[in-house]
Amino acid sequence: MAIRKVARLGHPMLRQPTRQLSKQEIKSPEVQRLVDDMIDTMHEYGGVGLAAPQVHEPLRLAVIEVEELNERYKIAVGQPLLVIFNAKVTVLDPTPYGFWEGCLSVPGLRGYVERPRKVRVDFLDRGAEPRSIVAEDFLATVFQHELDHLDGALYVDKISDRSRFAFVEEYQRFHMQEGGVAID
Ligand code: NI
């Protein structure tokens, strides 16, 4: 296990398409090691998710883990560790729902993004077994943010009101009271 270097905004890897993995590839020692490294890297930097392109691997793979009542986001909703291969997102409720998002690939910044408030994600888990999960509100945003990375999209592309794009310090000084919780 190892902590991997995270690609930052401007690195072409973040904009590349990713490819699906076969069940055999998912079970391979190389890919299982990559998963362990991504979990370590997510923990090291305090993220709630990490997508493979962020560690320079153009694969349809992401990890997500949200601690319940976690210190950083003050949100009482958790998501135990999930390893997500070949994800497909289906919108169940398109009503826009907004959060101040952050990203380990865009350090030091926050931006307000609205996304559909409820989605279903179909994917293969770490053992290459098919799974499906329904996520709402905060968790729906986390899933959509991470899975956007697999299509070369970043949250900064989805900020509709540029006055709500800020450094963390200015976010805390001027915007935190507007509501909407920051995520990474
Ligand atoms: Ni991100």
CATH at residue 89: 3.90.45.10
Catalytic residue among 57, 136, 146, 169: 146
pLDDT at 21: 98
Other CB atoms within 10 Å distance of the CB of residue 36: 14
pLDDT at 60: 98
In a domain, 86, yes or no: yes
Enclosing domain of residue 34: 12-93+117-152
CA distances from residue 176 to 69, 96, 135, 170 in whole angstroms, order as listed: 18, 19, 24, 9
**145 Cα: distance to centroid of ligand 1 (angstroms):** 6
**51 Cα: distance to centroid of ligand 1 (angstroms):** 7
pLDDT at 139: 92
Residue type, 161: D
The pTM for the full model equals 0.92
**120 Cα: distance to centroid of ligand 1 (angstroms):** 19
Q: With a cut of 70, which residues of the chain have pLDDT below it?
A: 69-76, 179-184
3-state helix, strand and coil shares in percent for the chain, rounded to the nearest 5 = 35, 35, 30
In a domain, 141, yes or no: yes
In a domain, 166, yes or no: no
Q: How many domains does the chain have?
A: 1
Kindly list the protein residues that place their beta carbon closer than 5 angstroms to ligand 1, a single-atom ion: 103
- Answer yes or no: 129 catalytic: no
pLDDT at 96: 95
In a domain, 5, yes or no: no
CA distances from residue 89 to 7, 16, 22 in whole angstroms, order as listed: 24, 19, 19
What are the φ/ψ torsions at residue 158 (nearest 5 degrees)? -110, 10
pLDDT at 102: 94
pLDDT at 177: 79
